Amino acid sequence: MSTVSQSSRRRRGASGTRGTSQAGPRHEIEDSSDVTTTTAAGPDRDAVRPPASARETIVERSPQLKRRTMSARSTVTGAIVAFVIFVLLASGSLVEIAEQQPFGFRRDVSLVLAKSIDRVSNLLSLNRPNDWVQGMIEDDTGGDGEFVFPSPETEEQATPSESADPATSEQATTTTAPPEPIRQVTAADPLRIWVVGDSATEALGVSMEQIGDELGNVDVNYEFKLSSGWVRLDFFHWPRRIDQIAKESDPEAMVLFAGGNDWQDMTDEDLNLVAARGTQEWYDEYRRRIAGTMDLLKTEDDHRRVFWVGQPIMRNPDMDSIMANVNQIAAEEAAKRPWVEFVDTRPLLVDASGAYTDWLTLPDGSTVKCRQQDGVHVTLECTDLISMAVYDSLGIHWDFG
């Protein structure tokens, strides 16, 4: 069973010819019938030509071509009208899309245009159907009001700088012996798993669900929100939504895979700027949000485990540096919490030298395209590698038989 919050899915006309006559001296003769007669030199070369007002175009002489021309014009006109109606009906969605963009000139211009369209749509009440539908399908993230994280129970650690080398960033690891399995999972009593995160979670959720179907003793649900993460809580508040899922569904395993959009300035729920990207304040607040989300998922009887999936290596060096740092923060915070495990994906999607690669040779010897065109998202084939790494971690805590 899958819960999907938001996702994204996958003649010539007739031609004629006309003859030409040989060139020669021409003489125009008018008669009382207003018919202009043109004569050409030589015998039997006279031709009668009607005046311009009486002549028909090729399209007018051909009903079939006329119908085609009218049909093409109608199609274009209909498409334009449909587009305008769609824009007005979905004006609220246009504003939401504009708000998802990183701060800057492009976002400002997009917001001005989208809000102008939305005001016109509001004036005409054309966006009410869309607002009603969005209200029906939109995730409830727990209502309004400031969200409060649980009080931290661990000491804070130093925050990495943005200039840290992604290849050498030290990540915290645990050296304790494998724990005793929490329980044995069966087809009658499957392991309850929830996978949540940004757009990359769509592929991870599908992959984990497929593997789970093969195992036959897990129940996977997944939910993703495009362009979401931990820095833009004004757009989507994942801590609040995760807290809601934990209370309503009580999953035994929570898999969190978000962060690929967290290379931008940080805001609060009211769109106020909290910290500029790359500053010490940014990393401090990021750590607080990560740690707070982990603490939300702790249970009194210790029956739940959290698997924080790190971000893979990125093509863009600047973005990759930030992702390496946020991975380090997540790994450090996970190491301080027995119920949380950090799943490192960087070693899974690199070439033999440890560098970024679009193509990857799998253990079976086959070579597959591993990254999508943006150099951020992972293809489904290579998402399976991440999924199997998560299942390896799950197998440490539960007995799959």
Within-domain flag for 201: yes
pLDDT for residue 398 is more than 70: yes
The span from the CA of 231 to the CA of 224, in Å, is: 16
Residue where one domain finishes, among candidates 134, 156, 179? 134
Collect all residues with Cβ–Cβ distance below 8 Å to 327 and sequence separation of at least 6: 169, 171, 259, 310, 311, 342, 344, 346
Residue 202, pLDDT > 80, answer yes
Same domain, 114 and 255: no
Structure tokens at 246: 């934990």
201 by DSSP, 3-state: which? helix
Q: SS3 of 14, please?
A: coil
Would you say 331 and 367 are in contact if contact means Cβ atoms under 8 Å apart? Answer: no
Confidence of residue 168 (pLDDT cuts 50, 70, 90): very low
Quote the distance between the C-alpha of residue 210 and its chain's center: 21
- Domain of 111? 59-134
**222, part of any domain:** yes
Q: Are residues 121 and 205 in the same domain?
A: no
User: Is the C-alpha dihedral spanning 204, 206, 207, 211 positive or negative?
Assistant: positive
Whether 297 shows a pLDDT value over 60: the answer reads yes
Q: Is residue 103 part of a domain?
A: yes
Residue with more model confidence, 292 or 52: 292
**What per-residue confidence (pLDDT) applies to 291?**
97
The pLDDT-based confidence of 121 (bands split at 50, 70, 90) is low
Mean pLDDT, residues 49-78 taken together: 61
Q: Judge whether 173 lies within some domain.
A: no
Q: Is residue 159 part of a domain?
A: no
- 264 and 387 both lie in a single domain: yes
pLDDT for residue 20: 40
If one compares 230 and 170, the residue with the highest pLDDT of the two is 230
What is the model's pLDDT at position 280? 95
CA distance linking residue 187 with residue 211, whole number of Å = 14
Same domain, 108 and 206: no
- Are 108 and 234 within one domain? no
Output 90 or 13, whichever has higher pLDDT: 90
Q: Which two tokens stand for residue 104?
A: 């800057």
The span from the CA of 356 to the CA of 182, in Å, is 37
Average pLDDT over residues 102-127: 61
321 falls within a domain? yes
Residue 376 corresponds to which tokens in the numbers above?
């951020």
Asked if residue 209 has pLDDT above 60, the reply is yes
Residue 10 placed within a domain: no
Do 206 and 292 belong to one domain? Answer: yes
Check residues 98 and 353 and name the one with the higher pLDDT: 353
pLDDT interval class at 85 (50, 70, 90): low
How high is the pLDDT of residue 64? 63
What mean pLDDT is predicted for residues 45-63?
55
- Please state the rounded mean pLDDT for residues 273-284: 94
pLDDT digits (tens, 9 = 90+) for 326-371: 999 999 999 999 999 999 999 999 999 999 999 999 888 899 999 9
d(CA 242, CA 293): 8
pLDDT surpasses 70 at 190: yes
Domain boundary among 107, 134, 161: 134
**71: pLDDT strictly greater than 50:** yes
CB atoms within 10 A of CB 94: 20
Does 208 lie in the same domain as 126?
A: no
Provide the terminal-to-terminal Cα distance of the chain, rounded to the nearest Å: 22
Residue partners of 141: CB distance under 8 A and separation at least 6:
236, 237, 240, 241, 244
Domain count, the chain: 2
**pLDDT the model gives residue 271:** 86
Helix (H) or strand (E) holding 293: helix 280-296
Asked if the model's pLDDT at residue 87 lies above 80, the reply is: no
* pLDDT tens track for 22-49: 444 444 444 444 444 444 445 555 555 5
Q: Bigger pLDDT: 40 or 148?
A: 148
CATH of the domain at 304: 3.40.50.1110
**Residue 95 pLDDT exceeds 80:** no
CA distance 3 to 62: 57
Q: What is the pLDDT of residue 48?
A: 56
pLDDT level of residue 401 (50, 70, 90 thresholds) = confident
How many angstroms separate the CA atoms of 154 and 295, rounded? 10
208 and 128 co-located in one domain: no
Shared-domain flag, residues 348 and 223: yes
pLDDT single digits (tens) 301-335: 999 999 999 999 999 999 999 999 999 999 999 99
pLDDT at 298 over 90: yes
Q: Is the pLDDT of residue 220 over 80?
A: yes
Average pLDDT, the chain: 77
Compute the distance between CA of residue 210 and CA of residue 387 in angstroms, rounded to an integer.
Answer: 10
Q: Report pLDDT digits (tens) over 224-244.
A: 998 899 999 999 999 999 999
Pair 187, 216: CB distance under 8 Å: yes
pTM for this entry: 0.65
**Phi-psi group of 158: left, alpha or beta (phi > 0 → left; psi -120 to 50 → alpha; rest → beta):** beta
Residue-level pLDDT at 113: 73
Mean local confidence (pLDDT), 131-141: 50
- The reply to whether 304 and 196 lie within a common domain is yes
Q: Which of 134, 166, 199 is the last residue of a domain?
A: 134
Residue of higher predicted confidence among 112 and 214: 214
- Whether 214 is covered by a domain: the verdict is yes
- Percent helix, strand, coil in the chain, to 5, is 40, 15, 45
> Is the domain of 199 the same as that of 129?
no
Q: Is 31 or 285 the better-scoring residue by pLDDT?
A: 285
Residue 299 · residue 345 · CB < 8 Å:
no
Alpha helices in 125-222 (DSSP H): 128-137, 200-215
Higher pLDDT, 270 or 128: 270
Verify that 64 and 199 share a domain, yes or no. no
